[in-house]
């Protein structure tokens, strides 16, 4: 088992445990007298490991609540519902709220715990690859508001994040790929060696998956994740180490932490447009049904094109870096092509919460493992990408 710490001013502020079975979770909960568990209802139904967690909670007499963890439900109403449940169950300032689920669950439960009684402690058992390598690390919590993603929230660290790779065996292939996008993003930022290793492993898993007949795919995928767990676990730990290092140096995103937003200004625009299209458009799935990780993959390909235009004055379409990253993403089962053009994305990018004084902090890729930040206006970016 790996233990990775997030520190601030030389003090450990959050711990991440990677690689143990779920039974050992109980020991990590022992120091806390009043634990309250909130679980994604879908995870409770689909994930055998979550059922083991429920048994641990029953054994410890921990009150439990199920939530509908969908992007539409990632709202203040759900946060208030969690707070009301804590209140009804007598949670005091000594409480620890445990979130079991993917990034939507951890973002909402972390936020609810951060505002309940001016802040109680919380911990995560992330059940998606995306939340294991990203959402459950670093303390960003929050909800969507008025068609803006994660626009309300706080940065506050969980006591611990307990990563059990076995939970991924029930995660659908598509959600696994979404997490793969965030993992590759992390390695593009800071770890060229593990980028290569991750592309190799994810490509092997993708190739094994796509040849299986559709009716057997879910069961086969579960076996595939189980068979590759010993290669996947060190990559999860490596991605956590990169993020924990960056967060330790810049917890509140004043500088270096912005690197982790690689591809995200584009991704948020794509997600906003997809939601708008779902409400008003013709319903074509490639324009309405895009997960966060899928949008990040598309955003990284655009960031690569922008980087080539800026660093290498390469005005070809697509650029060499974009071609390389797009090819790697495709090899890993991800689509790098945004269904929206740059013009369409421009308006949504103007309204991104990360835009400050008309400029956006764009993260550019010098080479795999080496990124740089540059403030650019959305109009400059659109001109360069056109």
The question of whether 257 is a catalytic residue gets the answer: yes
Residue window 66-85: x/- pattern of binding to ligand NAD, with contact defined by CB under 6 A: ---x-x--x-----------
Out of 161, 166, 170, 186, point to the residue binding ligand NAD (CB under 6 A): 170
Q: Is 134 among the residues that bind ligand NAD (CB under 6 A)?
A: yes
CB of 186 to ligand NAD, least distance (A): 11
Q: Is 186 among the residues that bind ligand NAD (CB under 6 A)?
A: no
Q: How many CB atoms lie within 10 A of CB 381?
A: 24
Q: How many CB atoms lie within 10 A of CB 271?
A: 25
Q: Please state the φ and ψ torsions of residue 234, each to the nearest 5 degrees.
A: -65, -30
Q: How many CB atoms lie within 10 A of CB 285?
A: 10
**Look-up of token digits 């949008």:** 295
**What b/e readout covers 198-217, taking b as 16+ CB neighbours within 10 angstroms?**
bbebbeebbeebeebeeeee
Q: Is 246 among the residues that bind ligand NAD (CB under 6 A)?
A: no
Stretch that binds ligand NAD, among 117-125, 128-136, 304-312, 354-362 (CB under 6 A): 128-136
Collapsing DSSP to helix, strand or coil, 38 comes out as: strand
CB of 351 to ligand NAD, least distance (A): 16
Catalytic residue among 264, 287, 305, 309: 264
Out of 20, 40, 81, 159, point to the residue binding ligand NAD (CB under 6 A): 40
The question of whether 140 is a catalytic residue gets the answer: yes
The question of whether 268 is a catalytic residue gets the answer: yes
Cis amide prior to 318 (ω within 30 degrees): yes
Put residue 154 in one of left, alpha, beta given phi > 0 → left and psi -120 to 50 → alpha.
Answer: beta
What is Dmax (Cα atoms) for the chain? Answer: 62
Q: Is 309 among the residues that bind ligand NAD (CB under 6 A)?
A: no
The question of whether 292 is a catalytic residue gets the answer: yes
Catalytic residue among 268, 287, 305, 309: 268
Contact (CB, 8 A) for 153 and 160:
no
Q: Please state the φ and ψ torsions of residue 356, each to the nearest 5 degrees.
A: -125, 125
Long-range contact set of residues 198-203: C-beta below 8 Å, sequence gap at least 24? 198/235, 198/332, 199/328, 199/331, 199/332, 201/228, 201/231, 201/232, 201/235, 202/331, 202/332, 202/333, 203/331, 203/332
Q: Is 248 among the residues that bind ligand NAD (CB under 6 A)?
A: no
Q: Which is nearer to ligand NAD, 267 or 321 (CB)?
A: 267
Contact (CB, 8 A) for 122 and 159:
yes
The question of whether 261 is a catalytic residue gets the answer: yes
CB of 150 to ligand NAD, least distance (A): 5
CB of 124 to ligand NAD, least distance (A): 10
Q: Which tokens sit at 206?
A: 């993708």
Q: Give the bridge partners for 37, in sequence order.
A: 64, 98
Stretch that binds ligand NAD, among 59-67, 165-173, 319-327, 338-346 (CB under 6 A): 165-173
Q: Is 253 among the residues that bind ligand NAD (CB under 6 A)?
A: no
Q: Which is nearer to ligand NAD, 74 or 275 (CB)?
A: 74
Contact (CB, 8 A) for 126 and 135:
yes
Catalytic residue among 74, 121, 140, 241: 140
Out of 14, 38, 82, 140, point to the residue binding ligand NAD (CB under 6 A): 140
Catalytic residue among 118, 146, 214, 254: 118
CA–CA gap between residue 176 and residue 208 (Å, rounded): 14
CB of 374 to ligand NAD, least distance (A): 22
Q: Is 43 among the residues that bind ligand NAD (CB under 6 A)?
A: yes
Q: Is 64 among the residues that bind ligand NAD (CB under 6 A)?
A: no
Out of 171, 262, 368, 371, point to the residue binding ligand NAD (CB under 6 A): 171
Which residues of this chain interact with ligand NAD, rule CB under 6 A? 40, 42-43, 46-47, 69, 71, 74, 101-105, 107, 127-128, 130-131, 134-135, 138, 140, 149-150, 167, 170-171, 175, 178, 292-293
Active site residues: 118, 140, 182, 243, 253, 257, 261, 264, 268, 292
């Amino acid at each position: 088992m790996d233990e990775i710490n997030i520190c601030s001013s030389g003090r450990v502020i959050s711990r991440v445990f990677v690689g143990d079975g779920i039974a050992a979770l109980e020991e990590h909960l022992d120091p806390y007298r009043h634990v309250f568990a909130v679980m994604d209802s879908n995870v409770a139904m689909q994930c055998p490991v979550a059922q083991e967690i429920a048994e641990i909670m029953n054994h410890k007499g921990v009150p439990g609540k199920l939530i509908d963890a969908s992007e539409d439900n990632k709202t203040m109403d759900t946060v208030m519902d969690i707070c009301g449940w804590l209140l009804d169950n007598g949670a005091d300032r000594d409480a620890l709220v445990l979130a079991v689920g993917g990034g939507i669950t951890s973002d909402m439960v972390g936020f609810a715990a951060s505002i309940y009684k001016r802040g109680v402690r919380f911990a995560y058992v992330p059940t998606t690859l995306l939340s294991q390598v990203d959402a459950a690390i670093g303390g960003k919590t929050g909800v969507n508001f008025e068609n803006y993603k994660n626009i309300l929230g706080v940065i506050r660290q969980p006591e611990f994040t307990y990563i059990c790779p076995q939970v991924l065996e029930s995660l659908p292939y598509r959600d696994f790929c979404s997490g793969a996008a965030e993992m590759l993003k992390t390695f593009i930022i800071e770890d060229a060696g593990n980028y290569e290793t991750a592309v190799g492993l994810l490509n092997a898993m993708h190739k094994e998956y796509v040849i299986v007949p559709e009716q057997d795919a879910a069961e086969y995928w579960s076996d595939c994740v189980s068979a590759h767990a010993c290669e996947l676990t060190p990559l999860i730990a490596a991605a956590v180490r990169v993020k924990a290092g960056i967060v330790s140096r810049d917890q509140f995103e004043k500088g270096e932490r912005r690197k982790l937003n690689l591809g995200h200004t584009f991704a948020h625009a794509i997600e906003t447009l997809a939601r708008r299209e779902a409400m008003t458009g013709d319903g074509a799935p490639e324009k309405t049904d895009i997960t966060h990780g899928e949008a990040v993959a598309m955003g990284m390909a655009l960031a690569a094109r922008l980087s080539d235009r800026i660093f290498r004055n390469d005005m070809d379409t697509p650029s060499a870096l974009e071609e390389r990253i797009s090819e790697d993403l495709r090899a890993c089962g991800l689509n790098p092509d945004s269904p929206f053009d740059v013009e369409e994305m421009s308006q949504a990018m103007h309204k991104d919460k990360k835009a400050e004084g008309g400029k956006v902090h764009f993260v550019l890729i010098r080479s795999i493992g080496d990124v740089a930040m540059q403030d650019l206006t959305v109009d400059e970016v659109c001109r360069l990408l056109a």
